[in-house]
């Protein structure tokens, strides 16, 4: 599992931390991710740490923004991952 930190832009353009999460493989720019808040996000940037070992285990920062609510991927809202996706 790959542990990353998700960050977003606020209204002033500054970054703020959303949460830490795990992926089976590193997301790429332009891909959609589905976060634990039940919303879909688009990956804007991937910044991997070089020469730094995080004590919390994260290896990268993903800059994301919320997917447009009219986009079909946003219809995943309310999906219960444990109920609907786990075998």
Q: List the domain range (segments joined by +) for residue 20.
A: 2-84
Residue by residue, pLDDT tens for the chain (87 residues) are 888 989 998 888 888 888 888 999 999 999 999 887 778 899 999 998 887 767 778 888 999 998 888 877 777 656 666 676 665
Per-residue HEC secondary structure of the chain comes to CEEEEEEEECCCCCEEEEEEEEECCCCCCCCEEECCCCCEEEEEEEEECCCCCCCCCCCEEEEEEECCCCCHHHHHCCCCHHHHCCC
Q: What pTM value is reported for the model?
A: 0.77
* CA–CA gap between residue 65 and residue 50 (Å, rounded): 24
């Amino acid at each position: 599992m790959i542990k990353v930190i998700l960050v977003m832009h606020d209204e002033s353009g500054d970054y703020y931390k959303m949460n830490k999460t795990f992926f089976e493989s590193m997301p790429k720019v332009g891909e959609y991710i589905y976060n634990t808040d039940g919303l879909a996000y688009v990956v804007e940037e991937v910044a991997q740490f070089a020469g730094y070992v995080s004590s919390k285990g994260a290896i990268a920062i993903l800059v994301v923004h919320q997917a447009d609510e009219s986009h079909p991927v946003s219809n995943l809202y309310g999906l219960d991952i444990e109920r609907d996706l786990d075998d």
